[in-house]
Every structure is written in structure tokens, then in C-alpha cells.
Structure 1
Amino acid sequence: MSDRIPRLEMADMRADLADYLTPRVERLRYLGELFKCAGHAPDVLLQFMHFTDALKQALPDRLTELGALTVASYMENRYERHQHERLSVKLGFPRAWIAQVNRLDPAAATDLSDVEKAAQAYALKALRTRGLEAQAEFDAFASLVTPAEAMAFVMLIGRYVTHAIAVNTLRLEPPVASIFEDEQ
């Protein structure tokens, strides 16, 4: 874990950022270490969180969680994967669905819908090729959703890549355990 960035507590953050984060902290019962680090760039963090909120409004929950889990699993971002596993459970998604998303094998997934399989296939191809060779997979996905949802999903992938780079660079440990840890 990097100690080059001092960790801020809520009382140390700029007032508007602390106000924005308070409902999340109260709901989760902890201040995530990413927020403690990113709080040093309050305008950036606030915009990042507004972007996150807009993406949640633009997409159905299952596509949002599929995208978040896919990128987190691919990027080895346990911090975000564990949190989104828990959020998926809270949203009522079956553990089998979550496990299949985490396996990153949409062709073999039996619990994913055709839209979800196409979304994950696109996300994985975009990640592997940096988007340079993902047009066929994007077109297949985009043919199944609205143009707004297709573009929101593209942006969602980028949002979670950004999170993974920050977490992996700082070597942040997950604030919560995986829902599957008891099964290992």
C-alpha cells in the first residue's frame, strides 16, 4: 500500500465534498480509502462521483453491475469487485449470476441474458484491445439496447478502468471481503 498520499478523514475534507460523501459513508458505515486519498483533489473527486451517479441513472442496474464487476475482475481490482458483489446481492441479483460475471466468460454463462452476454463480450474486447478492435462486439451489443444505453455503457467501462488504475497504483486493500470468501 502506498503511503505517499496522506489519508484524509471526513473532518479534513473540503465541506462540499464531505457533505456529498456523508450519505454514502453513513450507508456503508465506513469511508473508503480511495475517498481518503482522492479527497486531496476535491473537484476531481466530486466530478467523478457525479459521473458515477449519472451512469447509474443512464443504465439498468444489471448492466451497471455487470460492467463494474467485469472491469473490476479484469483489472484485478478486488477493492471495487468486492463492493459491487455486495451491491449486486443487495439489489437482489443471484450469487450464481455474480459468479458468472466474475468468471469473464460470457459465452459459457448460463445465467446472463443475451444483452448481458453481449455487453460483457464488448467490455472484455474493449479492455483487451484498448477499444481498437472492439467494433464488432460493440455493434452486437448496441443492436440490443438504445443508443443512449450503448454510449453510457462505453463510458461506464472507462469509469471503472479509472477506479482500477487508482486503486491498483495505490495498492489499496478492499474495505470489505468478497461474498465468495467463505466458499474458498
Structure 2
Amino acid sequence: MYLIAGLQPPMDMRLFLHGFQDFFPSKAWQRTPVLYLPLVAFGRMTPMAWEELDQSLYTLHLPTPVTLRHTGFDVTLKRNRIILEATMEASVIDHLSVKIRNLAQRAGVSATRSLLPSGIPLADITDVDPSVCNLWLATHRHRFASTEEVCEFTVFKTGKNRENTFQEVMSDYQFADLFTPPSELL
């Protein structure tokens, strides 16, 4: 099995992004079945290694939740695929990614690597005409999901590699308390 850690957007943000997926211009826009912001690729591992990693990830704690702010849409090239992404600005996202990777390495998972947590993949648009894509981006550039806080990350299982679109949730890990005290209480 191939494992990836990522942040699932909260329900309101997920519904907003699914709304865009429901109205892509053609079947050439192959929607991503699971919406998440990738953080760390653990790679292929055995069930025994997964058990060790699973126990280790439960110990992760950050003092505050991650604030996800949707900043627009972008097109990226990942290996041989062209992907439409909902770009995210996230506070402490790099810190969370590094902490997950370090815990994995301490658990004996050597093939970890941080992913550039720039956006949530929405669709594979490799076969979409560039002018259609540019028109779509220009039309939707002023639409944003509301800012949300996230206090847990998820480990997903894919097929043999990270390019596989089939993904199954392995486990969720709470890394912060959802309550953030107002600044006047601090």
C-alpha cells in the first residue's frame, strides 16, 4: 500500500469546492474523487511499518489549529499530469508537514518526503484545451471559500503509487484542540 498524509478541508469548504467540480465544462475535466491538501508522502509500506507509524502519529500535537484560507485557483504540472488546484494559504502548514515527516522517520519509515502543500487538487485537466482552461480560471478567479480551521490530518491509502486516483482513508489524527481562545483572554 502507498500512504499519503493530508488535510481534509472542513465541510463548508469541501461543499464549495465540490460545487465547482459539478459544473466543469466537459468530461475532459476528470474530477478528483477525494479533496485534500497533500502534506507528506510516506511511500509504500508493509502493514507492520504502518502499525508503527500509526502509533507514532497519534503523539503529534500543535498548540493551535491550522487556518486554511482559499486564495484562488491555479494549474500545476505534476509529473506528466496537468492538474487544476484550489490554492490554499495555510498558517503553520509547513511546520505540520515537517513534524509529520519527522515522526514517520522516527517510526522507521525511511521513504518519506514533504509535498509542496500549495493546493487541493480538483481535477486532472491534461487533455483540456488551454484556452478553455484560461477562460474557466478567468471566470472563477474571484470566488473564494470561507476561511476555516482544521485540527486533524488524515492518512490516505492509494494503490501502488501516489498517482492512483483511488484513495481510502486509513486514519484521522487530531493534532490540536479546535477551541482557540480569543486574544483578550490571553
Q: Same fold (TM over 0.5)?
A: no
Which structure carries more strand by proportion? 2
> What is the TM-score normalised by the length of structure 2?
0.24
Using CA pairs below 8 Å that are at least 6 residues apart, which structure has the higher relative contact order?
A: 2
> What is the TM-score normalised by the length of structure 1?
0.25
